[in-house]
Structure 1
């Protein structure tokens, strides 16, 4: 896992989400959504965190926390998708009972990923081979 590359991807995703929100607001007839306006904040925070981790960690550590990083990435993607869907539904003037499950499952992914990462750091297992 290359954390510098991951940080760059998060920055580009943040820029893309910000531009998507701006363009979407141009065509939404003056109606906006707080959920959609703030969806890029999650990716910019992850860009900062992964950039800091790349400066502070060594290669062996990066290999050990691969699964944790993937779980956290899935959580962020799920939360951002939920905010995008919430924004679209709010702008359309309707609602859905299923949208909160995006936040619940996203935060669950982040929690599980964080616990796996902490467990791997405490136990210090060698990286698993995919062979």
Structure 2
């Protein structure tokens, strides 16, 4: 069960965002946002990838280099998810913000750091 802990967390986050989107759209007076409607799918990406890796090649998920990559990738997924939820809320409210693009920039930076750190650890033989 410990192996699936991260997968279950991401599925839980996805379910929470899905329910949040249903409630928010219900009280949105008929206005909907595409980004909020599909934001719940983003947390399923790491859940599916990690779940498939656990089922097929469990030893791969335990490598130190991949642990570093997963930690930074989780931050990137959180950044994208928050970006889409906030963008959806602001769209339904009839406004927007240029500062939301910062979440996308941070997501890319987090992912680059994760890949770079993972490759660095892999070259050390971990």
Unmatched tracts of structure 2, length 5 or more:
none
Q: Judging changes above 3 Å, is the alpha-carbon distance between structure 1 residues 3 and 104 closer, same or farther for their aligned structure 2 residues? A: farther
Q: Which residue of 2 aligns with 1:54?
A: 54
* Alignment TM-score, normalising by the size of structure 2: 0.87
Give the 3-state SS of the residue equivalent to 1:25 in structure 2.
Answer: helix
**Contact between 2:65 and 2:119, CA under 8 Å: does it hold in 1?**
no
CA shift for structure 1 position 103:
1.1
Q: Secondary structure at the match of 1:28?
A: coil
Report how far residue 3 of structure 1 moved: 4.3
| Superposition misfits of 4+ residues, deviation over 4 angstroms | none
Task: Tell me, yes or no, if structure 1 residue 44 matches structure 2 residue 44.
Answer: yes
Q: Distance in 2 between matches of 1:71 and 1:18?
A: 24
Counterparts of 2:51 and 2:74, CA distance in 1: 14
Aligned: 1:98 with 2:99: yes
Work out the number of aligned pairs and report it: 124
Q: Which has the higher helix share?
A: 2
Trace 1:29-40 onto structure 2 (pairs within 5 A).
Answer: 29-40=29-40
Task: Tell me if 1:25 matches 2:12.
Answer: no
